[in-house]
Chain A
Amino acid sequence: MGKSNNKVDQYRRRFLIRAAGQACGAALLGVGLITFSRQAHTLPATAIRPPGALAEQDFLGACVRCGLCVRDCPYDTLKLAELGETVTTGTPYFTARDIPCEMCEDIPCVVACPTGALDKGLTNIDDARMGLAALVDQENCLNYLGLRCDVCYRVCPLINKAISLEPQHNLRTGKHTFFIPVVHSDACTGCGMCERACVLPEAAIKILPQRLAKGAPGQHYRLGWEEKQKAGGSLVTPDTEHKYNLPEGYQYDYEGRGLIKEDKNTQTPFADNPLDTLNKRQEQKQ
């Protein structure tokens, strides 16, 4: 290496080292930030995204934290997470127990979103899936105790579709009926009306993210009774009809009607006097 080149080389060397230093510094900062983001991006289960929000990971890449959805929410449901809150800073959310989503028909929050973090494809609010109501506390729910509270059912904007009351026999009293609130995931939007309305000091019914509120059946599972209906007949052959060992002229309806006399005019095989029955048998044998 010539002496004349030495100076240029040294300059180049210094330049490269400086640049590498800056790049490494920035990269270190980046590693720290990404590590931090893993924690900062965990959404608490009680924080619910506005209707139409993309899946959480996509949402965090799409939302520019401008707050236009918050501004156009007529019920002050939505708010932006402040620095220090457990929700990712600047992103919109609501807490169902405080102010639930009123499910506006024109969905102003989605209309206001400039980026598509709230999906413009959502035009019918009933299609929103902000979360899923789950009756998490079956020990304290008044309806589970046999009372007729029904408040969650009554306030549901999709009454009888998203929540229905299913009668069940109350074995404790032996003569009453439980009216069990059942949430149907094919209709529940996760608006949170039920959670806010729950009369208990701590709601027994809560809006949870779908991933927490819902199980998933095995992909190979088939419900036999549904498959049978689809196919118009049993898939397991031969599907022989079950036969009850019944007296002549009788049927048994296992779905509730029980023992049925086929023709009311036919004589009962059991006469009032048991001796008559025995005599009849004797006659038949001869």
Chain B
Amino acid sequence: MSVLLRPGAEAIASKGWWRANQWLLLRRAVQLGILSLFLLGPWLGIWIIKGNIASSLTLDVLPLSDPYLLTQSLFAGHWPETTVVIGAVIISVFYFLVGGRVYCGWICPVNMITDLAAWLRQRFNIKGGARFPRQSRYWILVMTLIGATISGSLLWELVNPVTLVYRGLIFGMGMVWLLLLALFLFDLLLSPRGWCTHLCPMGAFYSLLARYTPLRISAAGRERCNDCMDCYAVCPEPQVIPPALKGAEQGIGPVILGINCTNCARCIDVCSKDVFKFSSRFSNPTQSSSNTFKQSEVLS
């Protein structure tokens, strides 16, 4: 029956609209909130944060820098100043703690566009399209770093939609709108969830920070699962779910350990049986270390 309904409809019926969307709303609030902090300066003259997500200075003391951009710079052959290194270390430690791809789900502005495309695909039942292997992003990541060395520059920053959009909103869009439109149409019509979860090397880079991340989502109530498939329908990286949700018989613990889980918590929202909750990677009672390896390795 639930197949006919939109994903999350059951959850709305059982938990109410607010509780069935609370994490999504919180996530959008964080995405837009951080963007607003950046925009307060140029728009209203309130300088809490200067710069953009590539590198910024908060309250004139706290430097934050993107570790992927720093890595590109290192590969391009530049020996950086300490400021950018400190900033990148702070950011790396943060994403190590909360999950690398939290960057994708909770910060990255492109996520809102590709989520919209994915939602529209479901809403208007758009099927098919090109499917790239999910590992492609790692090859592209390698390419951007080798390319940085060959060209001696931050090669990917010529086209990186994430930094282009952020910088564009703060410093002037130029033709970034066109790029966004292309990306939206790409995800909507050409390749389902094509960009963020198959091709984007920035997401791939951040996923590598999540190898031992403590904060994880757990299918703690997996025995209550009624196979409605709503979590799969909303998950941008649905390959991370099955081992945790269905692995009880193989002795795999309920914690989702796939490094590409963005901790977006949409699965918590849409589950009418309250199967999922935020947890830690250490709360896997039945799990042995070999399983940890298996799950995160195979399903990255």
Contact = CB atoms under 8 A, between A and B. Distances in A.
B54 A61 contact: no
A137 B97 CA distance: 61
A159 interface: no
B239 to A, nearest CB: 16
A88 B167 CA distance: 14
A83 B70 contact: no
Contacts of A113: 81
Given A40-B158, A71-B50, A115 B150 contact: no
A29 B154 contact: no
A114 B81 contact: yes
A282 interface: no
Interface stretch (A31-39, A148-156, A218-226): A31-39
Nearest to B149: A61
Contacts of B151: 33-34, 37-38, 41
Nearest to A81: B174
Nearest to A30: B143
A82 B172 contact: yes
Contacts of A41: 151, 153
A64 B88 CA distance: 12
A57 B139 contact: no
Contacts of A65: 52, 54, 154, 157, 163, 167
B294 interface: no
A61 B145 CA distance: 12
Contact of A26 (B76, B80, B140): B140
A84 interface: yes
B242 to A, nearest CB: 20
B224 interface: no
B17 interface: no
Main secondary structure of the interface of A (DSSP, over half): helix
B170 to A, nearest CB: 7
B69 interface: yes
A114 B65 contact: yes
Contacts of A61: 73, 76-78, 148, 152-154
Interface in A32-54: 33-34, 36-38, 40-41
B214 interface: no
A66 interface: yes
A117 B143 CA distance: 23
A253 interface: no
A165 B139 CA distance: 60
Interface of B: 41, 47, 50-52, 54-57, 63, 65-66, 69-70, 73, 76-81, 83-84, 87, 133, 135-136, 139-140, 142-144, 146-148, 150-159, 163-164, 167-168, 170-176, 179
Interface of A: 18-19, 22-23, 25-27, 29-30, 33-34, 36-38, 40-41, 57-58, 60-68, 70-72, 79-80, 82-85, 88-90, 112-117, 120
Give 4 nearest A-B pairs by CB, closest first.
A82-B174, A61-B76, A66-B55, A84-B175
23 contacts: A23-B139, A30-B146, A33-B147, A37-B151, A38-B151, A60-B152, A61-B152, A62-B76, A64-B54, A64-B55, A64-B154, A65-B167, A68-B56, A71-B47, A82-B172, A82-B174, A83-B173, A84-B174, A85-B174, A90-B167, A115-B73, A117-B78, A120-B81
